[in-house]
Chain A
């Protein structure tokens, strides 16, 4: 089966610009996750969707980050405006009625 797809793979932007990431989960997976992984740290959950509803977004900086999952399939994560500290790898993962997650390749964001 096809894995979790993410794009772009790399993005460089200046601070205060906006950026969007896209994720297509494994077909049939109801749960979709966005993580932020800063260099030297483990992934930190930003938001979790169950179908197209939000299950957990307690660690999403809502003043600048937003995410949506229309039709319960693919998802976009947006940052507007970006700050230097947003430089990280943004990981998307999906799972199917369980806790085992399948990860995409990630998007490496550099904010200058």
Chain B
């Protein structure tokens, strides 16, 4: 079965620290990849997406992610986190030609001021 794995369930960082959240997906062909974020008390919203082209994609608020096809990975990065980045982050994959989007279990990030 197709699946998405997020390596860390909880991450605690101090402001200005660098962030990398891991995401791996099971092989299933051509994929579209997403990172969604849910800030406290808010809806899930799209952070960034990859459909094709440059494997390094940039999203909102200084986030970026790199698609490494050989590793089935789509890790999220930010060079310097802020207190306002405290949120839950979800990696999601949809397989081209299929319809279902599969979400990872999420990573809760807490940034200490």
Chain A residues with a Cβ under 8 A of chain B: 3-4, 33, 35, 40-45, 48, 55-56, 58, 91, 93, 99-106
Contacts and interface: CB of A to CB of B under 8 A. Distances in A.
Interface of B: 4, 9, 32, 34, 36, 43-46, 49, 51, 90, 92, 94, 99-106
A58 B100 CA distance: 10
Interface of chain B, main secondary structure: strand
B99 A48 contact: yes
Contacts of A101: 46, 101
B105 A103 contact: no
Interface of chain A, main secondary structure: loop
Nearest to A106: B43
A100 B46 contact: yes
A42 B32 contact: no
B106 A99 contact: no
A42 B45 contact: no
A43 B34 contact: no
A42 B101 contact: no
A55 B32 CA distance: 18
A93 B90 CA distance: 15
Most chain-A Cβ atoms within 10 A of its Cβ — which of B49, B92, B100?
B100
B100 A100 contact: no
